[in-house]
Structure 1
Amino acid sequence: MPSQIPSATAAERAFAEALRREGFTGEVSTGASDRVVMATDNSIYQILPGAVVFPRDEADLALVARLLDRPEFHEIVLRPRGGGTGTNGQSLGGGVVVDCSRHMTQILEIDTEARRVRVQPGVIKDQLNAALKPHGLFFAPELSTSSRATIGGMISTDACGQGSCVYGKTSTHVLSLKAALVGGEMLETGRAPYAPRAGRGGEVLRVLDEISRDEAALIEERFPKLNRALTGYDLAHIRDDDSIDARAVLCGSEGTLALIAEATLNVLPIPAASALLLIFYPDFQAALRDARDMATLGATSVETIDSRVLGLAREEAGFPALAHLFPQAGAEGVNIVEFTGDDPAALAARATALRDELSTAPGRLAITIASGDEVAKVWGLRKASVGLLGRSDGAKRPIPFVEDCAVPPENLEPFIAAFRAVLDREGLDYGMFGHVDAGVLHVRPALDLTDPAQEPMIRRVTEQVAALARQHGGLLWGEHGKGVRSEFVPEVFGPLYPALQRIKAAFDPRNQLNPGKIATPDDGALWKIDEVPMRGQMDRQVPQALRDANTSAFACNGNGACFNRDPRDVMCPSYKATGDRRHSPKGRASLMREWLRQGGPEGKADADFEAEVKEAMDGCLSCAACATQCPIRVDVPKLRSAFLDDYHARHARPLRDHALDHLEALMPLAAKMPRLVNLFTTGPGAALLKRAGLTALPAFPVTRPALPTLREAEIAALDPARDVVLVPDAFTLVFEPQIVADLAAVLDRLGRRLRVAPYRPSGKARRVLGRRKGADRQAEAQSALLRQLAASGVPMVGIEPAILGSYRSDFAADLPQVMAPQDLLSELMATAQVAPSALAVRLLPHCSERVRGAAGSNGWRAVFARFGITLDMPATSCCGMAGTWGHETRNRATSERIFAQSWDDATAPGPDAILATGFSCRCQADKVAGRALAHPITLLRQLMEG
């Protein structure tokens, strides 16, 4: 049987207890689930830590560092962790993880006059730029992972990406740092002449002063003259004339020297305008060769993607809105060339002139121009490339381990040609994209590391690529740091490596901060790329059948797109509400993998760990945003359903589960006796249901409009030219039948007749509960009816977006299409004569429509545009109700917290009408804020009837 999770060591438990005892105000965990989630990042490695701490403030960080100096804790090691910047195991390892991303997330000061900000290390880059935007400023270093990259992580890897030739790296914009040293002393960096001082900080500055003076000639000789010379311990920038600054070695040090507590950053004015040239080529090497010339045109950035990445981008929900910019379906390479300026008209004229000029040269298939809002959307697709490359249908998946080499830009094309030859000899598929102006290209070979025979390729390919990078004047690491690749550091630094060791010894004499990475204070070993436990080694312990049945759990590559904290973004509302990474798609996928490894479906998993997995799965709203918004398409609702099905085969279900199990089937019956049922939903009996685990339930309407029902025997007589069949869902049919009547009235005015099909449960409620066999039975019955209706040739329409989404995701792929009402109505109203309206209307789509991008909202825009109404659609995340989830007593507080994040503002009075397409959303707005939202169909009827 696979081994269970080892417990924290006695020393780690004692360290955790000492923190709690001495006033640590954040969280301290030695729980298995927290440790499992922290055992992986976006690399190929997996190492279980002994404990995880989440400091709340600078005092907590200082306490952690101070305890390290006590003799009883000299064997404790720390693994500082940021987020969104490492692909090489930088923050992985045994010991105690220090994660500042949960609490230390404050922007402390914005000084617009001096153009500087002070932030805590857990601030996310996009969060910072959102706060700076109203001031016309931005933090310039750009990352594809900016939606979850923390400033502390960016500093620790000296991160950069697109536009680095103009804007530089993170270190370019770090003005000063405050960091906790081993022993608890706070070091505040700043450029100043060296002056002796006491303490560890004094020793650090003395060593930096000596090295920067004594090794100046060797530093000048050895350091690569590259835009992306990401080395960490940046000896070349310690000294400026007679001044030294410890900031130079802290940036890029990957948590091996100190714990970053605060950063002061330089920020820049946002360019007034930007434009992109998208240049298409018949082969990828041609794109690389041409990129060198593009870089001489004064571009802000030049990015290249290959046909594989472009093909994946075409599958994204946002691509249709940009399809006109990508006319060359057969292109093997695309250069994206950005120009920025303060005069939009002059910039547009320049872009047009360049397109016309460049189009005359042979070898370019097409050139298009993106401007205005299109620019951000194109870069959004490009940013998604990191995650997109990890998506694969087979066992082989593109993985990062040699993906960020940096060479002089003039050497990039021959370097990549030789790189591709290495991969071709190994028989590996791969995708490529990157920053060609800086000489960096991301290359991710596809391997199946659950196959032991493929593991040796990690070393074979890495050594060949490292040699190629040296041969072409570059480095193995140009963007994503060293981490596990630290074994190559002594070779790269050569005679300067002892200087790194002296720096490490001054900061961390006992090698307690992220040991094994970059440098040791003595002759200790650095980590090696094939001597660190890999994820595939753990995954292969799971039987193949279970891996196949839970594909998306094993597909998760830890890219962290689900760690997006933007409250208006639809991805993972439970993570946004809790800040707990266990309650993210990445966290839940990690827990599921470990539970399967332990033999969970057979009841072999550790009971305490299984309970923690259950808690994490219960926190999932089953909104399914991850199934489309995660680049890898990790589908947590399906994983949750599978887990609950197996779990409850061995554990009794609570009473509420039995009630919800029959929800869809019993609701039409309950609707026939609304006064009696309402005694238990909104009346005196509601207390009984609350004790059973259900609360905030809607009332059943006492009066109901007559609906044009359709009997099964009448299906064959339907007229496709006139009839429209509504496939009813329980929520609309039972709680809001007036919307069905409104739809019938609208269609009547459009010359169509609505017929309401016989009601069948969709199975969604049972699937959410993990009653998969029962859900399948209900889905089969509904599918049979849909096929019978489709055979009549009549258009079918549904109203509730969540149920329509279930038809797409949970039913057979060849199921006849049930149209969304907006798609049907936009077609029927294209030529309708209607009276214009001056109403101000806000529409809040259901999150299952949000994830479809323009496809989910264009229909409603077109419908209301017929009346001259431009819909206001503010960005929102989930409302927090998510079907029955928000009606469960245990979830109610979190449900309301989720509503407050984006829906409270979005539903605030102001427009003439506020509409919501989801029943749960309308119910939640009523329960939380007392705001009655209408369905768009209801307003549409009012407009058409004058």
Structure 2
Amino acid sequence: MSDALASLVARLGETAPGLRVETGPGPAGLYAYDASNYRVPPQAVAFPRGAEDVVAVVRACRDAGVAVTARGGGTSMAGNAVGPGVVLDFSRYMNRILDIDEHARTARVEAGVVLDALRSAAALHGLTFGPDPSSHSRCTLGGMIGNDACGNRSVRHGRTSDHIEALEIVTADGVRAVADRTGLHAVDPQDAERISRLEADVRRLVDANLAPIRTELGRVPRQVSGYQLHHLLPEHGFDMARALVGTEGSCAVVTAATVRLVATAQASALLTLGYDDVVDAAEDVPEILRWNPTAVEGMDEAIVATMRARRGPDSVTGLPEGRAWLYVELDGDDQGAVDARAAELLDVLKARGRTTGGRVVASPAERRSLWRVREDGAGLAARLVDGGESWPGWEDAAVAPENLAAYLRDFRRLLAFHELTGVLYGHFGAGCVHVRIDFDPATDTGRTAMRRFLSEAAALVVEHGGSLSGEHGDGRARGELLEVMYSHRMIRTFAAFKEVFDPTGLLNPGVIVAPARLDADLALRELPLVETTFSFPHDEDGFAGAVRRCVGVGRCRSDAGGVMCPSYRATGEENASTRGRARLLQEMVRGETVQDGWRSTEVRDALDLCLSCKACSSDCPVGVDMATYKAEFLHRHYKGRFRPRSHYSLGWLPLTSALVGHAARPVNALLRGPAGKLLARLGGVTTKRRVPAFASRRAVRKALRTARTGEPAKTLLFVDSFTRAFRPQVAAATARVLADAGIPCTAEDGLCCGLTWVSTGQLSVARRVMARTVARLDNGDDRPIVVAEPSCAAALRRDVPELLGTDAARRVAARVHTLTGVLTDLAAPDWTPPALPDDVVLQTHCHEYATFTGRRPRDLLHRLGVRHVDEAEGCCGLAGNFGFEAQHYDTSMAVADLALTPRLDTIDAGTSTVVVADGFSCATQIDHLTGDRDIRALHLAELLDPAADRPGETS
């Protein structure tokens, strides 16, 4: 740390006691990126808890000459949320909803409030916030205000600026003020004169430039580029709040806002329309707008293909035939009337002759699935099914909707001329097109070509009367190009406006005014190949390409929906998110801020709370697989060194459990006594959990004898280490279920998938174990392999081929099924299971969720007759070795509290509800959480076992 930075941090310790300030390689690496192409490591990151903390930071930075950049969720795609000085992260603590006035239909919120949190709170009053960006699950109101964000329903609700009543700000000299629809007002009366002078300077500036402001600004609905000074015109009442929206933190720091809310629609309908291409789709937009829709969203085939490849063919349903699609949403007060309008609109569009098909989507599940495809567009377009990469930079242009088709036609010609490919999606009803392009920003030649294309694209959109930015802001991506769009006088007016507010250029320098070159500070560069043990077959550049998958869209920072990222949801810390870890791994590969490579303690600490749940490999739109990256890192980090004790005690569990099986009874008795706690401490294992009882070899042999059916075997039952060691009765039940379903098995015992060695990063041992398993299984037998333990099934399906890299490993992996999967795909058509309970609480294993997409226990249970399945969508928190490690116990329980514990708490004594959890870790966590409540999680095989008495049976 430099002396100047140390002095700045020391001053903040005095002026803002309790303010959290972080410096060093870890924070610099985490906050060097947003969701854009840019990388700007900060000197420090501050986490304010209130406006006074912000005042202290701004004043200290002003005196030290250090820049300040405000940041919300870090999802900016134009480089608006990275800066070289101090970054203010509002999302960590300043995330309170201060007030909701249902009668006035307003809410007062701090800048770090996530949009979905506001919408959930407002929904209790039948209200919502109108603008809804696709990043609604993690973007903050402060970020939306900074960019003037819009979203999917902007056809109806417009931009964020249309919904702002007042902004609470801190000026560049550390003065608190309120900007509202009548001007600026000091919070402290002592600052009234200072704020009055500032307002007077702005009024003089506007009065001197009325003509260009009236003629150049506010021409199309999505004209976000530059400053929105037309809100300050006399005819608009000098609306200072709306004028500061979209300034990207370059004029003042927004700490809170009063926003207008709108009523939630009582009824809605979603119409999906297919087209041969996006130009045909755009041609129909003017007609669609005549029907007063809430949303008109478009996308091309590349996004749909990637979603289906990553999450299974059933992940996108409800789309008609075509290579481009529009989503059209209508709303109203009566569902029947809305449905009739949707059907009528469909008939009109079919008669126009451009559509390849269309339908009104009635199923709520299909509608949710379709909106998820659209909302994940930025991530899905970043890493396509063919492995190609695409980048932002020209992802946000907008024209008047009636000009959209002509613009797209010319834009595609421009792409073709430059031999580039763009993946198109966006808000077609508002004329705003998002596109990610296969630039090559890693090389000098590629950057030169990228710069040439962007300059010509800017000229093209201006030729069509449009805006460089339609909602993402100019940032570092487009600030330099504003001179293509605006007159010199307007550019000078923008500069003068910033100077009034920020005369020393303290706030978010390099954007909008005096912008940095658009090809400066690009994150991507050519990197050397990194030697690894995993093969990373889906990434051309191996490990470096794998960690580069993260482009910062931040879906891992969502608090709900999907399973990732449990550690972030439990802690709220950026370095506990999938994105944060990926960014630090990228920095490790670069070797700049993180300079000690595989030995990095910053990376180790960030990975420490990763539960290796693998949910990110499915939920992350670009397929980041942090569990695999963590295993590779741990393998390299501890190579030739002593490991944490739990890596030995838990990592070698398959071997020790096999030995214990010969003396299970005395060992179990020992572990239940005082010696057990001592052994746990010595092994780095928490003493707050009861160690599961080991099964004896005799019990295992008995279970396998019971499993034999005498019928010709159609499947192979892989008896994994967890099932063998702790619940051999599950193997027997699985065999009976398979026989009952018409797919009898033979059991294969004595093999291991190597999972525990993988999760603790002991990859050399894992490979030896896996090689032995593959040699035994790849013997010409092509029968499906059924694995009762989902984590072991996932290891065989994914880790084995990626670690061994052999054809034999791939053949074995292709045969692996979970019990859910084999019953879904191969059970006899006339199979009828035993009577099942009406109600099931289900904990789906994260590895099954991530690896065996499209084969969900929830769907199978519904199909077999269970009426109500209450699924705890999220990690159980135990996650193999993680929750048994002493230092992770509290985090493990916090993760359980997110989804699993609330479900278990709904189960009353004597209820007929059954708890189902196939994963041994999940069942163990449930046993721990329920204590003496006499609730035991059943494996699916035990629930379906024709020979078992099941609690809660229906007759």
Fold conserved between structures, TM > 0.5: yes
Q: Contact conserved, 1:273 with 1:372, CA < 8 A, in 2?
A: no
**Does residue 669 of the first structure (1) align with residue 670 of the second (2)?**
no
Indicate which of 936, 939, 942 corresponds to 2:949: 942
Give secondary structure in 2 for the equivalent of 1:555.
coil
Q: Contact conserved, 1:78 with 1:97, CA < 8 A, in 2?
A: yes
What are the equivalent positions in structure 2 for 1:47-58 lying under 5 Å apart?
47-58=40-51
Q: Percent identity?
A: 30
> Distance in 2 between the 1:873 and 1:209 partners?
59
What are the equivalent positions in structure 2 for 1:363-402 lying under 5 Å apart?
363-373=354-364, 374-392=366-384, 397-402=389-394
> Distance in 1 between the 2:580 and 2:510 partners?
26
Residues 399 and 48 of structure 1: is their aligned pair in 2 closer, same or farther, counting only changes over 3 Å? same
Q: Contact conserved, 1:645 with 1:771, CA < 8 A, in 2?
A: yes
Indicate which of 521, 537, 541 corresponds to 1:533: 521
Q: Contact conserved, 2:78 with 2:472, CA < 8 A, in 1?
A: yes
- Which stretches in structure 2 are left out of the alignment for 5+ residues? 533-540, 802-809
The residue type paired with residue 802 of structure 1 is S
Give secondary structure in 2 for the equivalent of 1:378.
helix
Residues 202 and 12 of structure 1: is their aligned pair in 2 closer, same or farther, counting only changes over 3 Å? farther
Aligned to 2:567: 574
Q: Contact conserved, 2:320 with 2:356, CA < 8 A, in 1?
A: no
Offset of residue 496 of structure 1: 2.8
Offset of residue 774 of structure 1: 1.5
Aligned to 1:765: 756
Q: Contact conserved, 2:250 with 2:498, CA < 8 A, in 1?
A: yes
Indicate which of 333, 345, 351 corresponds to 1:354: 345
> Distance in 2 between the 1:370 and 1:194 partners?
48
Offset of residue 263 of structure 1: 1.2
Aligned to 1:109: 99
> Distance in 2 between the 1:660 and 1:234 partners?
59
Indicate which of 875, 888, 907 corresponds to 1:878: 875
Aligned to 1:289: 283
What are the equivalent positions in structure 2 for 1:815-830 lying under 5 Å apart?
815=812, 816-826=814-824, 828=827, 830=829
What are the equivalent positions in structure 2 for 1:672-751 lying under 5 Å apart?
672-679=662-669, 681-685=671-675, 686-695=677-686, 696-701=689-694, 705=699, 721-722=712-713, 724-747=715-738
Offset of residue 398 of structure 1: 0.8
Residues 395 and 95 of structure 1: is their aligned pair in 2 closer, same or farther, counting only changes over 3 Å? farther
**Does residue 634 of the first structure (1) align with residue 624 of the second (2)?**
yes
Give secondary structure in 1 for the equivalent of 2:70.
strand
Indicate which of 771, 789, 803 corresponds to 2:792: 803
What are the equivalent positions in structure 2 for 1:495-574 lying under 5 Å apart?
495-519=489-513, 525-530=514-519, 532-537=520-525, 540-543=526-529, 547-566=541-560, 569-574=562-567
Aligned to 1:787: 778
**Does residue 474 of the first structure (1) align with residue 466 of the second (2)?**
yes
The residue type paired with residue 481 of structure 1 is G
The residue type paired with residue 502 of structure 1 is A
Deviations 1:496-524 (A, max 9, x none): 333323322222221111112222xxxxx
Q: Contact conserved, 2:62 with 2:173, CA < 8 A, in 1?
A: yes
What are the equivalent positions in structure 2 for 1:13-28 lying under 5 Å apart?
13-28=6-21
Deviations 1:480-537 (A, max 9, x none): 1011122233554421333323322222221111112222xxxxx421112x221123
Give secondary structure in 1 for the equivalent of 2:604.
helix
Aligned to 1:891: 888
Give secondary structure in 2 for the equivalent of 1:882.
coil
> Distance in 2 between the 1:894 and 1:299 partners?
45
**Does residue 269 of the first structure (1) align with residue 268 of the second (2)?**
no
Residues 39 and 720 of structure 1: is their aligned pair in 2 closer, same or farther, counting only changes over 3 Å? farther
Offset of residue 273 of structure 1: 2.4
**Does residue 457 of the first structure (1) align with residue 445 of the second (2)?**
no
The residue type paired with residue 807 of structure 1 is L
Residues 199 and 610 of structure 1: is their aligned pair in 2 closer, same or farther, counting only changes over 3 Å? farther
Offset of residue 752 of structure 1: 6.4
**Does residue 903 of the first structure (1) align with residue 889 of the second (2)?**
no
Give secondary structure in 1 for the equivalent of 2:197.
helix
> Distance in 2 between the 1:541 and 1:436 partners?
38
User: What TM-score comes out, normalization by structure 1 length?
Assistant: 0.91
Residues 786 and 266 of structure 1: is their aligned pair in 2 closer, same or farther, counting only changes over 3 Å? farther
Deviations 1:103-150 (A, max 9, x none): 111122222222221211111112222222333221111211112111
Aligned to 2:840: 841
Residues 226 and 738 of structure 1: is their aligned pair in 2 closer, same or farther, counting only changes over 3 Å? same
Offset of residue 219 of structure 1: 1.4
Q: How many residues align?
A: 914
Q: Contact conserved, 1:707 with 1:741, CA < 8 A, in 2?
A: no
Indicate which of 299, 302, 311 corresponds to 1:308: 302
Give secondary structure in 2 for the equivalent of 1:233.
coil
Give secondary structure in 2 for the equivalent of 1:198.
helix
Q: Contact conserved, 1:621 with 1:882, CA < 8 A, in 2?
A: yes
Q: Contact conserved, 1:431 with 1:444, CA < 8 A, in 2?
A: yes
Give secondary structure in 2 for the equivalent of 1:856.
coil
Offset of residue 748 of structure 1: 5.5
Give secondary structure in 1 for the equivalent of 2:111.
coil
Give secondary structure in 2 for the equivalent of 1:398.
coil
Q: Contact conserved, 1:12 with 1:96, CA < 8 A, in 2?
A: no
> Distance in 1 between the 2:15 and 2:556 partners?
34
> Distance in 1 between the 2:266 and 2:431 partners?
27
Q: Comparing 921-930 with 823-832, which one deviates more in the overlay?
A: 823-832
Q: Contact conserved, 2:380 with 2:622, CA < 8 A, in 1?
A: yes
* RMSD of Structure 2 on Structure 1 (CA): 2.9
Give secondary structure in 2 for the equivalent of 1:109.
strand
Residues 480 and 721 of structure 1: is their aligned pair in 2 closer, same or farther, counting only changes over 3 Å? same
Give secondary structure in 2 for the equivalent of 1:110.
strand
- Which stretches in structure 1 are left out of the alignment for 5+ residues? 1-7, 520-524
Offset of residue 693 of structure 1: 1.0
Give secondary structure in 1 for the equivalent of 2:325.
strand
Q: Comparing 875-884 with 182-191, which one deviates more in the overlay?
A: 182-191
Q: Contact conserved, 1:709 with 1:755, CA < 8 A, in 2?
A: no
Aligned to 1:5: none
Residues 120 and 159 of structure 1: is their aligned pair in 2 closer, same or farther, counting only changes over 3 Å? same
> Distance in 1 between the 2:841 and 2:786 partners?
23
What are the equivalent positions in structure 2 for 1:201-240 lying under 5 Å apart?
201-239=195-233
Residues 238 and 764 of structure 1: is their aligned pair in 2 closer, same or farther, counting only changes over 3 Å? same
User: What TM-score comes out, normalization by structure 2 length?
Assistant: 0.90
Offset of residue 393 of structure 1: 7.0
Q: Comparing 585-594 with 816-825, which one deviates more in the overlay?
A: 816-825
> Distance in 1 between the 2:859 and 2:556 partners?
29
Aligned to 1:522: none
Q: Contact conserved, 1:44 with 1:400, CA < 8 A, in 2?
A: yes
> Distance in 1 between the 2:641 and 2:608 partners?
14
Aligned to 1:4: none
Offset of residue 85 of structure 1: 4.4
> Distance in 1 between the 2:818 and 2:399 partners?
51
Aligned to 1:437: 429
The residue type paired with residue 566 of structure 2 is P
